[in-house]
Structures are given as structure tokens and as C-alpha cells.
Amino acid sequence: MANEGLRDNETLSSLKNESETLKCKLEEERAKLHDVEPFLSVFFFQQDGKVIVWDAFTTNKEHAVTMPCTWVMACAYAPSGCAIACGGLDNKCSVYPLTFDKNENMAAKKKSVAMHTNYLSACSFTNSDMQILTSSGDGTCALWDVESGQLLQSFHGHAADVLCLDLAPSETGNTFVSGGCDKKAMVWDLRSGQCIQSFETHDSDINSVRYYPSGDAFASASDDATCRLYDLRADREVAIYSKESIIFGASSVDFSLSGRLLFTGYNDYTINVWDVLKGTRVSILFGHENRVSTLRVSPDGTAFCSGSWDHTLRVAVGHQRTRPPAKFIFHSGPERPPQFIKSSATAIIHADSPC
């Protein structure tokens, strides 16, 4: 988009008005097709900065990589399970090949892939080990080639820090959603770098976004203490998961395998489980002694893992309050995103940050 000056009959305020008018029209169009009102009545749901890979089932540590930077904020597992990516306050995303050879120093083989101008908030491999998608405090997302470190595509549009991203599970797999401090969730086309859809209904920072398993919708968790479901085909928000008693921000969301349940972690140390379709809360889980900073359901849907500032990762099954968490893992730093490895159900990767 070239930096043109004003044309005849255009002034800054006329452009602004035009933009605002279009925005209103768009909302009207979206509202016209919203024939579900209210939703509920029509349908009857380290101190030293380490990255650690745990075998969640046996709770044994499989790998540990010491990071040179002090705050690690993002980590991801490669689809093959042979490498991990992480980054944070160092503004970079680095890829470490995993090895079971005790003699090898994993940190030595690290590859610096992404370079942002501010902290790295999230990263994710695309369909292979060779490409990484990152989001940053500098307000942009970017797609990188791992081998060369080349920037393949950048995504501009957020007006403030981008805090989270998630790749679509769709058949063509070419989009992703990002959430930021500007309260917007934006859907991007990987190929063109364009923003396809944008949603701005939250009242505060969006901390986490996750696609619904079919790829037709996504959920977001925000500091405004609500989680919301956005439908991509209807192009609007279709559900809000909130309660008067929930007054602390939500930090993370994930769906159960069928998409019927939504697990959400909050800054009030609890995990709430919602019925996605009915919009009601199914259960509330206690146990963590500090903020729940992150949460993921395992790829085979058998359990979910929550990480917290109380230095533990807890794996829990089901949503019944009486069932105790199945496994406990204690660690020395407040937890940043754990991710289940895709190929096996049992390994967890998480990043450690100093208190």
C-alpha cells in the first residue's frame, strides 16, 4: 500500500467517517444473519530459564535445555517430535534438535530462527519441522523458514502486543488466528499475509486463542474474565462463557476432543469447565496454589494438563470435581505454555521462567 497523499475531496476526517460507516454496516450485516437469540434457548457446551520436556505419564524428565535468556515465554514441539522451539524476552525464537544422547549438549546445536523487535509471546510449528509461526510483543506475527532463518511472511494489523496464536486444523490448513492486547482476535491467511476476519468484542487483552476441533470456530480467553466463542462462517461472536463469580482474568483455553467441553484456566487459581453448546459452567476445579497460566488437552483427548505459577504442572482427567488430578509434576519455576507432543500422548514440554 503506497503512501499516497490525499486525493481531491478527501480529508482525514472524511476517510475516518467512511471507515466508521463501513464498520457499522458490517456489524449490521453480521447481525442480520444472527437468528440465534438468545443462544442458550435454541440448543439443548527457573530461576535460570530452562525448557524442559517431561514424560507426563512417568513424570520423568526427558530433556532439559538451559536457555541463555532469563524469561522463556513460548515453546512448541515439532510435529516429528525431534525438535523444540522456544523464545521469550530475548526477542528470538530458537530451535533445538532433541536428542536422547546424554553426552550431547542440546544448547550447542541451537538454531536462531526468528527475530522480532520485542518479546516473543507464542510460537508454533506448521505442518512440518521446517516452518515456524511466531507472535510478538512488537504487534506482528511472522512465518519463518527454520533452516535458513528467512522470513517467509509477516502479518501486520494488530495495534498492540500479540499475545497468542493458533493454527487452523482445517483441511487446507492455511489460516491461523491471533489474539492481542488491542482486544482483537484476527484470522490470517498464511499464504497472502492478509487478515481475513477480525473480531473485537472483548473488553481487555486476549491471552489465549484455540481453534474448535473442526476449524469452523475458535475460543478466546481474556483478562476481562470471560471466554468467548467466535464462529468463522457466521463471522461473529456466538457465545460468552462468564459468571458473576468469575472476576479474575482467564489465561488459557482448550477444547476437549469432541469440542463439547471447554477447559479454561484463570488467574484466581481455578480451572473452569464449560459446556460449549449450552454456555453453562459444568464444573470448577481447584488445586493450584497460584495463577493457572496455561492449559492444554492431550491430542488423544484422554487428559488435560495445567501449568501454574505455583511451580507445578498438573494432569487431570475429566471434569468431575471429586476426581483428583492424576499426576503431579513439580518444578522450580512458574509455568509458561506446556504443550502435549503430537505423536505420543505422554510427553509435555514446558518453559521455565525465573520467579
Partner 1 sequence: FTIIKVEALVLEMQDPDTGVKTQTQRLVITTIPHAMTGHDILEWIINRLQILDEEAQNIGNLVVQYGYIYPLQEPKNIILRPDGSLYRFQTPYFWPTQQWPAEETDYAIYLAKKNIRKKGVLEDYEKENYNILNIRLNHKWDFVIMQAKEQYRAGKERKKADRVVFEFQERAYWLVHRPPPGAPNVIDYGLDRFSDPNENQVTQKKTFDVYRREIIFNQHSLMKSRVKSSVSLGGIVKYCEQYFNHDPIMTGCLPSNPWLTDDTQFWDLNAPLSEVPTKLRVERWTFSFRELLSDPRGRQDFQLFLRKEFSGENLAFWEACEDLKYGDQSKVKEKAEEVYKTFLAPGARRWINIDGKTMDITVKGLKHPHRYVLDAAQSHIYMLMKKVSVYICCCVALPSLRLLDAMWGLNKNPCFHIYLTVKYRSDWSPVSADTD
Residues in contact with partner 1, counted by CB under 8 A, come to a total of 113
**How far is 239 from 45, CA to CA, in rounded Å?**
10
By the 8 A CB rule, do 270 and 225 touch? no
Residue from 61, 154, 203, 330 in contact with partner 1 (CB under 8 A): 203
By the 8 A CB rule, do 248 and 265 touch? no
Site membership for partner 1, residue 302 (CB under 8 A): yes
- As given in the structure block, the three cell numbers for residue 146 are 527454520
- As given in the structure block, the three cell numbers for residue 23 are 464498520
**Can you list the alpha helix ranges (DSSP code H) found in the chain?**
12-32, 39-42
- Which residues inside 29-88 make contact with partner 1, applying CB under 8 A? 29-30, 33-36, 39, 42-43, 45, 57, 71, 73
> CB atoms < 10 A from the CB of 198, how many?
14
Site membership for partner 1, residue 257 (CB under 8 A): yes
List all residues 6 or more positions away from 47 whose beta carbon is below 8 Å from its beta carbon.
Answer: 332, 333, 354, 355
Q: Which residues pair with 42 in a beta bridge?
A: none
Site membership for partner 1, residue 286 (CB under 8 A): yes
Site membership for partner 1, residue 287 (CB under 8 A): no
Site membership for partner 1, residue 166 (CB under 8 A): no
Half-sphere exposure of 27 (CA within 13 A, CB side): 8
Nearer to partner 1, 107 or 149 (CB): 149
Nearer to partner 1, 105 or 159 (CB): 159
- As given in the structure block, the three cell numbers for residue 305 are 494438563
CB of 63 to partner 1, least distance (A): 20
CB of 103 to partner 1, least distance (A): 28
**How far is 263 from 251, CA to CA, in rounded Å?**
11
- Which residues inside 318-347 make contact with partner 1, applying CB under 8 A? 318-319, 323, 326-327, 343-346
Window contacting partner 1 (CB under 8 A); options: 61-69, 92-100, 101-109, 209-217? 209-217
- Which residues inside 126-145 make contact with partner 1, applying CB under 8 A? 126-128, 130-131, 137-139, 145
Window contacting partner 1 (CB under 8 A); options: 47-55, 59-67, 94-102, 294-302? 294-302
Nearer to partner 1, 109 or 310 (CB): 310
339-340/347-351 β-pairing: antiparallel
CB of 61 to partner 1, least distance (A): 19
Q: Which residues pair with 178 in a beta bridge?
A: 165, 186
Site membership for partner 1, residue 183 (CB under 8 A): yes
Site membership for partner 1, residue 204 (CB under 8 A): yes
CB of 100 to partner 1, least distance (A): 19
The amino acid sitting at 289 is E
